[in-house]
Amino acid sequence: MRTAIVSHLAAAALVLSPVAAYGGDGIQIDVLYMNHGPLAPTLEELRSVTSHYVKRVAVAWHDSETDEGRRFMAEKKLTGHIPLVIWVNGSPRQQVAGREVNFTGFPTGSGPAPFQGKWSMADLRQVLDRLAAEK
């Protein structure tokens, strides 16, 4: 019985921790991703980039093939084969050097060509640098 209670409390803490982290003035990032091999290098690089902003950024990872990920997709009204979408403060679209960048799909030059977006990790870094400076 005691083990079950501790397990439920631990599970609740894991589920609620991203929500609690968003409560401050920090930057909120939601990453919806497919947990497939071709995306692994991009996810690794994304984790590396966001780790440099650890005191300013709260990142929530949503695996599209889990129940939680499917709920997140439904909440965002998304369907279909979507390898990667990154929301920064609630939007996948951000201004970078005077142009709008949509953080959807693989970064340019990585992954299968039909699923590449028109963005780079450098674009994401620029957005995070700008937002961190504003906070």
Residue 116 has what DSSP assignment?
Answer: B
* Predicted pLDDT at 24: 52
* pTM summary value: 0.79
What does the pLDDT read at residue 15?
40
Query: 99: exposed, middle or buried (C-beta count within 10 Å: 0-12, 13-18, 19+)?
Result: exposed
What residue ranges define each of the domains in the chain, with the CATH number in brackets?
A: 25-134 (3.40.30.10)
Handedness of CA 125, 50, 90, 25 (dihedral sign): negative
The set of residues, in sequence order, having a beta carbon less than 8 Å from that of 95 and lying 6+ positions away, is: 101, 127
Euclidean distance between CA atoms 32 and 99, whole angstroms? 23
Strand, coil or helix: what is 62? strand
d(CA 21, CA 50): 14
Per DSSP, the three-state class of 85 is: strand
Angle between helical axes of 40-51 and 121-134 (0-180°, round to 10): 20
* pLDDT averaged per 10 residues, the chain (length 135): 39 38 72 94 96 92 96 95 95 96 93 88 97 86
Separation between Cα atoms, residue 5 and residue 2, nearest integer Å: 5
